[in-house]
Structure 1
Amino acid sequence: MLEILMAGGWAMAPILFCSAIALAIVLERFWTLRRSSVLPPGLGQEVRDWARKGQLDPKHLETLASGSPLGELLASALVVRDRSRDIIKERLEDTGRHVAHRMERYLNTLGTIALIGPLLGLFGTVIGLIRMFLDVMRGGVGDPMKMAGGIGEALICTATGLVVAIPAYVLHRYFRSKVAGYCVDMEKEAIALLDDLTFGTPGAPATPRPRRTPAAG
């Protein structure tokens, strides 16, 4: 295998560099985007229970926000739980955009590698063919080994570029889909908490919020 890679010439260097980056991103995203890490089981119901019981001290909220992306989203609503529904919803939307952006971290880089992998392979192909033609111009076509070296270099670069690009593209689409699914699930949990904060516990009469009296002028 090492001999084959070396036969691809110096154009293999950027392809191998991209493959190393892609591998690191894939491993990191697989670990970070575990469902148990993003959406801890039962967390949404537990947070709603906390809200009903009033267990919402600042330290509790800080621990919730640092525990998981879902916890961060729900904690953002609890911080402004005494405000109007529109304000709570706006805070959820703002925090949700930040959480989704962090879950998509490095995916643009992975998509770029999937895009440029075949181009780097094509670049190596062109370099190999140029070298083959130069060898033919200097020594003629009497020695087929000179042509074989350039053709081999071209084919190795092309194949390696595709080997890097195809898995990178598939995994890029997979992680994008996974993040989109997580966002839908987190939105459901956020709506459930929003309803609890503004309408009270389902099945129980909603407690009216006290009106603020205007300050005397």
Structure 2
Amino acid sequence: MILLFLQATNDTAQRAVDTLNRAVQAGAAQPHELRFGDLLLKGGWVMVPIGILAVLGLVIFFERFFTIRKAGLNEVALMSQVKANVSSGKLDSAIAICRNSNSPLGRMLQKGLMRIGRPIKDIESAIENTGRLEVSRLEKNIGILGIVAGIAPMFGFLGTIAGVIKIFYDISQTDNISMGVISGGLYVKMVTSAAGLLVGIVAFVGYNILQMMVDKVILKLETDSVEFIDLLEEPSK
């Protein structure tokens, strides 16, 4: 009887040990889920300036995007009204229309209309100077995107290098050079490099998009200003 009891107890203990081993193996087979938010937090203090650069770049991009897009709207109606009033000799009305348009083209034409009566060269010079000012306003803060594109990856690399230095310092103190210790710390520090590169790439793309938009607006302003000068020269032909 005692032997049967001991055998049953032994079988029960063995089953318990087997169940525990299977649970441990199942847990080891399923790695801990890596969450994006937790991974960012593990990047350390370098993620703070990278995050600031990301927010700064997005704010500048969208602010300039909508400003430049508004400046690049088709001004066919404005040009038609200005032509009609100039042809009719209503310079005051043409100037008022340009002033109310509140657009780069309107300000350029207004400056030219206020110089009517002077040599064409003076009118052209006034329009060109106004155009340069308008282009400078459109390009305002776009250069900051270029700076963000350049320094965000540098911050990322700085965070990675600082992390690697700390890993090897810890190894020198503990003499633990297992692959788990090295890789476990290194993958976390590589997060800063990835974040910096991502912010830099987005800023670089945004910078070039805005530059292309500005170039398109410049071409349009130059075309309209040439058309305006031709209009002023027509009576003298």
Question: Structure 2 CA distance, aligned partners of 1:138 and 1:146?
Answer: 13
Match of 1:51? 86
> Any conservation in 1 of the 2:71–2:217 contact (CA below 8 Å)?
no
Match of 2:43? 8
**CA displacement at 1:146 relative to structure 2:** 4.1
Verify: 1:179 aligned to 2:211, yes or no.
no
Question: Structure 1 CA distance, aligned partners of 2:156 and 2:178?
Answer: 26
Aligned ranges 1:80-119 → 2 under 5 Å: 80-119=115-154
| Cα-to-partner distance string for 1:38-70 (whole Å, 9 max, x where unaligned) | 333312233222222233325444324xx1111
**CA displacement at 1:183 relative to structure 2:** 0.5
**CA displacement at 1:128 relative to structure 2:** 1.0
For normalisation by structure 1, the TM-score amounts to: 0.84
Match of 1:40? 74
Aligned ranges 1:1-217 → 2 under 5 Å: 1-34=36-69, 36-42=70-76, 43-57=78-92, 59-64=96-101, 67-141=102-176, 144=179, 146-200=181-235, 206=236
**CA displacement at 1:87 relative to structure 2:** 0.2
**CA displacement at 1:144 relative to structure 2:** 5.0
Question: Structure 1 CA distance, aligned partners of 2:85 and 2:210?
Answer: 32
**CA displacement at 1:75 relative to structure 2:** 1.3
Unaligned runs of 5+ in 2: 1-35
Question: Structure 2 CA distance, aligned partners of 1:161 and 1:197?
Answer: 54
Following superposition, which runs of at least 4 residues in structure 1 exceed 6 angstroms of deviation?
none
Question: Structure 1 CA distance, aligned partners of 2:158 and 2:64?
Answer: 29
> Any conservation in 1 of the 2:99–2:106 contact (CA below 8 Å)?
no
> Any conservation in 2 of the 1:38–1:68 contact (CA below 8 Å)?
no
Q: AA paired with 1:39? A: L
Question: Structure 2 CA distance, aligned partners of 1:7 and 1:152?
Answer: 10
Question: Structure 1 CA distance, aligned partners of 2:97 and 2:167?
Answer: 69
Q: AA paired with 2:64? A: R
**CA displacement at 1:6 relative to structure 2:** 0.7
Helix, strand or coil: the match of 2:40? helix
Question: Structure 2 CA distance, aligned partners of 1:37 and 1:96?
Answer: 12
Larger CA Rg, structure 1 vs 2: 2
Q: AA paired with 1:41? A: E
Q: Between Structure 1 and Structure 2, how many residues are aligned?
A: 199
Unaligned runs of 5+ in 1: 201-205, 208-217
| Cα-to-partner distance string for 1:144-203 (whole Å, 9 max, x where unaligned) | 554345312321011001110112111211111111111011101001111111333xxx
Question: Structure 1 CA distance, aligned partners of 2:167 and 2:88?
Answer: 77
